[in-house]
Amino acid sequence: MATSLKNLSSYNSNQMPDAQDYRIGIVVSEWNTEITDALYLGAYKTLIDNGVNEENIIKQDVPGTFELTLGAQLMAENFNLDAILVLGCVIQGETRHFDFICQGVTYGITKLNIKYDMPIIFGVLTTDNMQQAQDRAGGKHGNKGDEAAVTALKMVELKRKLRIGLK
């Protein structure tokens, strides 16, 4: 498993862009709030630690993980943002519901990246049990929220560099 090889919270701060003028949206699922609140706090702290101004971070809650896609779309349409993080947690149950939710959200977020030409970062945990989720929301494998924030900042920098022709 990839996270056993790399801590989700590890990154080289010297390789991070100057993000003081970045505007970042964060859509957070209210389902499994013990986990999604921890993901949000990790993402928020990482954004602040890397220079994003507090007033440039906009949070919106949605009822569940499936609603993250529409939440991200509404943010893209109604706010002037550089990137959007979607944070959620789906834990395997006894039915195929897990598969449908995970597949739908993954596909939806992929489509939004292309439609809006904006980094929309998939920060959704898809785990077999609550312990695995806790391990990835600030536990022994770090915090997927941190990883999503770092990814967003790096993708905004990449987009800006390519738009002005820098390498």
How would you classify residue 154: left for phi > 0, otherwise alpha for psi between -120 and 50, otherwise beta?
alpha
CB-CB contact of 41 with 29 (8 Å):
no
- Alpha-carbon distance of 7 to 25, in angstroms, equals 24
Distance of CA 44 to the CA centre of its chain: 10
Q: How far is CA 144 from CA 37, 48, 89, 116, in A?
A: 12, 16, 10, 23
**Which active-site residues does the annotation give?**
97
